[in-house]
Amino acid sequence: MSRRFYELSPAERREQMVAEGRLTPEADELLAAPVGLDPHTASRLVENQVGQLHLPIGVVPGVLVNGRTYTVPLCTEEASVVAAAANGARIVRMAGGFTAVTPTRLMTGQVVVAEPRDPRLAERIGQCREELFAAAAQAHPSIIARGGGLRDLRVRDLPPADPAGGAAGTRGFVSVDLSVDVRDAMGANIIDTIGEAVAAVLRERFPDEEVLMAIISNYAVGSLVEVSCDLPAALLVPARAARGLEGEELAGLAERTARRIALASDLAQVDTTRAVTHNKGVMNGVHAAALAIGNDTRAVEAGCHAWAARDGRYRGLSQWSLTRPQGAAVLHGQMSVPLPLASVGGTIHALAQAEAALGLIGAEDAAEVARVVAAVGLAQNLAALRALVTDGIQKGHMSMHSRALAITVGARGEQIEQVAELLRSAERMNQDTARRLLAQVRAAAGEG
Ligand code: MEV
C-alpha cells in the first residue's frame, strides 16, 4: 500500500512535490540544504549579527481555495501547527474547499501634523489634493510605471491624547491617510518615500505647522481577505467517534459537534480572555505561512489583532455558525483579516529558502498568496475548535509534542522517534519520563 504524505521522509516528500510539478528542482535543492544563510548574507541582513536560528518548514498539502489546490509552507517551532492545519484543510477540501476574495489590495501611509495651529487645516490640506497627488507621482515614478501609485487621500482630525491638556499638547493632530497601490510588494519603502514627499509639500504650504512624521500604517484594512467555507456536519465527526454509529445517531453526533464549534466561536465574540487564544490559533497558520515566505510577520500580527478590536472590543477573528440550508446541519465558517502579504520585494529574494517556499504556493500575485494564507488560518482555527470541543486539545497536542520533548532531553537521530513513541503510551508525558525512556533506549542500543 502506498504511504501517505506525512509518512514519507522529508526527501521523499520533496521528491513527490517535484514529480507533481509543485516544486522546482532548484527549490528542492535549496529546501534540502542542511545549513541556513551563508555567513556573508547573514551578517548583512541585521546589525551586530552573531548567529542564526533554524526552524523547520513543513507543508500543508491540498488546501483547496476557489477551486485550486495549493501546497502551503509553514515555518514554526510548534509541533502541532502543521498537522492541525492539514487536518482542517482536509475537512474543508472534502466539503468543496474555501471561497476567498480580496476586494482591494491597497496599503496605507500616514503623514501627521501635530498641534495644528489652523483649526481648518484638514480642510485646507484637502484643497491641495492635486498638488499632493503630483508630488506622490514624482516621488516614486517606478511604481507608477508598474501600474501602481497613490489611489486616494483622506484627511482626518484627531483629538489630543489627554483632553484635559497633557504635557505634549492640547490641540491634537491632523492625519493625511494615503491609500497606495504598491502592486505585489509589501510597500513600506514605496509608501514611506511617497509619504515623505507629501510631508515636504505640507511643510512648504503650511510653514507654521509642525509635520510630525510620515510612515506606513500596518493597519492594512485596504488589503482585507474574506474567506469562508460550508461544512456538512457529518464531516466534523472524527472517524474514531463515528465507528459503529449510523443514521440518526451519527447525524445527531455530527450536529452536536457543529453546534459546539459554533458555541466556541460565540464565546470568542463575547470574551477577550478566550478571543486572544482563539486568534492565536488562527495566527498559528497565518504567522507560520508569512514567516515561511519571508514576509513581515510583525506587521501581519499587529494589523490582524487591531482588526480583531475594530469595534472597540477585542473579538475572535473568525466566526462559525450552524445553518440548515437544505434541512441538514451545515457549519458555516467565515473570517475577514487584513493580510498585507507580499510576493516580491522586502527580504524575500535575500532569503533563498523563503523564496523557494513562496514558489511552492505557486500564486500569480500577492493577493492570491493572501487568500491562500487566510484559508490556512481558518483551517487551523477549525482544527483547534474541533479538537477543543471533542477530544480536548491535549491528546493530539501531546502526541505531537512528544518528539520535541525527546529532543529536549537529548535524543538524536532515530532515538527521537523511539523515545516519542514510548512517551505517547507513557502514563505521564514530561521531561523526567522522557529522560528515563531515553536512557532505556540507549541501554537497549548498547550505548550504556
Ligand atoms: C495552540 O497553539 C492553539 C490553540 O490554543 C487555539 C485555540 O485554543 O483555539 C489550540
Average pLDDT over residues 191-213: 98
Enumerate long-range contacts of 133-136, CB under 8 Å, 24 or more apart. 135/197, 135/198, 135/200, 135/201, 136/178, 136/180, 136/194, 136/197, 136/198
Residue 448 amino acid letter: G
Comparing CA positions, the residue from 376, 288, 374 lying closest to residue 339 is: 374
The answer to whether residues 256 and 377 belong to one domain is: yes
87 and 235 co-located in one domain = yes
Q: What is the phi/psi pair of residue 121, to 5°?
A: -60, -40
Same domain, 338 and 421: no
Q: How far is the CA of 278 from the centre of ligand 1 (A)?
A: 6
* pLDDT tens per residue across span 344-371: 987 878 888 899 999 999 999 999 999 9
Residue that finishes a domain, picked among 157, 192, 221 = 221
Percent with pLDDT over 90 in the chain: 77
Is the domain of 270 the same as that of 368? yes
Tell me what percent of the residues of the chain surpass a pLDDT of 70. 98
Which parts of 59-187 fold into alpha helices (H)?
A: 81-94, 121-127, 129-139, 141-145
- Whole-number Å distance, alpha carbon 32 to ligand 1 midpoint, is 30
Angle 366-389/272-292 helices, nearest 10 degrees? 140
Same-domain check for residues 183 and 234: no
280 is known as an active-site residue: yes
CB-ligand 1 contact for 440 (6 Å cutoff): no
The predicted-structure confidence for 97-128, as pLDDT tens digits, reads as follows 999 999 999 999 999 999 999 999 999 999 99
pLDDT value for 391: 83
Query: Do 376 and 63 touch, CB atoms closer than 8 A?
Result: yes
Q: How many CB atoms lie within 10 A of CB 258?
A: 27
The greatest distance separating any two alpha carbons of the chain, rounded to the nearest whole angstrom, comes to 84
pLDDT, residue 166, reads 65
Same domain, 365 and 241: yes
Number of residues assigned to the chain: 448
Dist. CA 388 → ligand 1 center (Å): 8
Which residue carries 505640507 as its cell?
A: 202
280 lines ligand 1 (CB under 6 A): yes
- Tell me how many degrees the CA angle 266-267-268 measures, rounded to the nearest 5: 90
Q: Is the Cβ atom of 200 under 6 angstroms away from ligand 1?
A: no
Site to probe by mutation for ligand 1, drawn from 277, 391, 398 as the one with most ligand atoms within 8 Å of Cβ, is: 277
Active site residue 296: yes
Hey, what amino acid is at 130?
E
Residues 71 and 113 in one domain: no
**CA nearest to 217, candidates 299, 336, 153, 276:** 299
Q: CA-CA distance, 408 to 411, in Å (whole number)?
A: 7
Does the annotation count 184 as an active-site position?
no
Q: Are residues 233 and 357 in the same domain?
A: yes
338 with 319, same domain?
Answer: yes
Q: Is 76 in the pocket of ligand 1 (CB under 6 A)?
A: no
Q: How confident is the model at residue 23 (pLDDT cuts 50, 70, 90)?
A: very high
**Pair (270, 352) in one structural domain:** yes
Q: Which one of 393, 409, 429 terminates a domain? A: 393
Specify the residue with its C-alpha closest to ligand 1, atom 1.
Answer: 281
Domain boundary among 205, 221, 237: 221
232 Cβ closer than 6 Å to some ligand 1 atom? no
Q: What distance in angstroms lies between residue 280's CA and the mean position of ligand 1's atoms?
A: 6
393 lines ligand 1 (CB under 6 A): yes
Q: How confident is the model at residue 164, as a pLDDT?
A: 75
d(CA 266, CA 269): 5
Annotated catalytic residue, options 184, 209, 255, 296: 296
Which pLDDT does position 267 carry in this prediction? Answer: 98
Domains: count for the chain: 3
C-beta 284 within 6 A of ligand 1: yes
Can you tell me which atom of ligand 1 is nearest the CA of 264? 9
pLDDT in tens, 414-431: 899 899 999 888 888 889
Average pLDDT over residues 175-197: 96
179-189 residue pLDDT tens: 999 999 999 99
Binding site membership of 276 for ligand 1 (Cβ less than 6 Å):
no
Tell whether ligand 1 has an atom less than 6 A from the beta carbon of residue 384: yes
Backbone angles phi, psi at 224, to 5 degrees: -75, 145
Atom of ligand 1 nearest to the CA of 385: 9
- pLDDT value for 165: 65
Atom in ligand 1 nearest the alpha carbon of residue 274: 8
Residue 78 known to be catalytic = yes
Distances (CA, A) of 363 to 35, 52, 158, 368, 369: 27, 29, 40, 6, 6
Spatial separation of the C-alpha atoms in residues 81 and 300, rounded to whole Å = 18
Q: Could you tell me what percentage of the chain is helix, strand and coil, using 3-state DSSP and rounding each to the nearest 5?
A: 50, 20, 30
CA-closest residue to ligand 1 atom 4: 281
Q: What is the CATH number of the domain that holds 128?
A: 3.30.70.420
Closest CA to 346 of 219, 108, 185, 148: 185
Range of the domain at 438: 396-444
Neighbour tally for 136: CB within 10 Å: 25
Instruction: Give yes or no for residue 277 CB within 6 A of ligand 1.
Output: yes
CA of 430 to the centre of ligand 1 (A): 20
The pLDDT of residue 400 is 76
Q: Which residue has cell 515566505?
A: 293
Same domain, 256 and 373: yes
Lowest mean pLDDT among 216-220, 229-233, 407-411: 407-411
Ligand 1 atom showing the smallest separation from residue 78 Cα: 2
Query: Of these residues, 15, 28, 192, 397, which one is catalytic?
Result: 397
- What is the rounded average pLDDT of the residues 208-217? 98
| Long-range contacts of residues 441-447, Cβ cutoff 8 Å, at least 24 apart | 441/411, 441/415, 442/415, 445/415
Confidence band of 397 (pLDDT split at 50, 70, 90): confident
Residue 167 binned pLDDT confidence (cut-offs 50, 70, 90): low
CATH code at position 404: 1.10.8
Same domain, 90 and 122: no
The mean of the pLDDT values for the chain is 93
The residue contributing the CA closest to ligand 1 atom 9 is 278
Q: Is the dihedral of CA 8, 10, 14, 17 positive or negative?
A: positive
Please indicate whether residue 13, judged by its CB atom, sits closer than 6 Å to ligand 1.
no
Confidence category of residue 445, pLDDT binned at 50, 70, 90: confident
For residue 319, list its beta bridge partners: 334
